[in-house]
């Protein structure tokens, strides 16, 4: 089971809200809303996505990475390397 199993419903609720927000941005663009107001909404969605990522990352560290570390050094090292790459993508996006 993935690390986020315990908080799955919360993530689904947040993702549905984000989906609705993206639809809302499209509506703003369709209605020629002022650029700065559209940009403000896009920043809000980016922040919401960031919060989802940070939550998923913590769940992953707390379950998948920690469990692998207890299993063996090799398994732990591989999971840490993988998590570090995901953190880098998160920081650079």
Q: Does 22 bind its own copies (CB under 8 A)?
A: yes
Window 41-70: contact mask with its own copies (x via CB under 8 A) = -xxxxxx-xx-xxx-xxxxxxx-xxx--xx
* Interaction of residue 78 with its own copies, rule CB under 8 A: no
Backbone region of residue 2 per phi and psi (left: phi > 0; alpha: psi in -120 to 50; beta: other values) = beta
Closest distance of CB 37 from its own copies, Å: 9
Of 7, 86, 3, nearest to 15 by C-alpha is 7
With contact defined as beta carbons under 8 Å apart, do 83 and 42 qualify?
A: no
CA distances (Å), 59 to each of 9, 64, 92, in order? 14, 8, 20
Footprint of its own copies (CB under 8 A)? 1-5, 8, 11-12, 15-16, 18-19, 22-23, 25-26, 29-30, 32-36, 38-40, 42-47, 49-50, 52-54, 56-62, 64-66, 69-70, 76-77, 80-84, 86-93
């Amino acid at each position: 089971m993935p690390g986020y199993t315990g908080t799955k419903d919360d993530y689904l609720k947040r993702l549905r809200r984000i989906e609705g927000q993206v639809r809302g941005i499209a509506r703003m663009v369709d209605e020629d809303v002022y650029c700065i107001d559209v940009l403000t909404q896009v920043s809000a969605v980016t922040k919401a996505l960031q919060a989802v990522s940070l939550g998923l990352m913590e769940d992953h560290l707390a379950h998948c990475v920690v469990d692998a570390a207890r299993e063996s050094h090799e398994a732990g090292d591989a999971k840490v390397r993988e998590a570090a790459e995901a953190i880098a993508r998160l920081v650079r996006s």
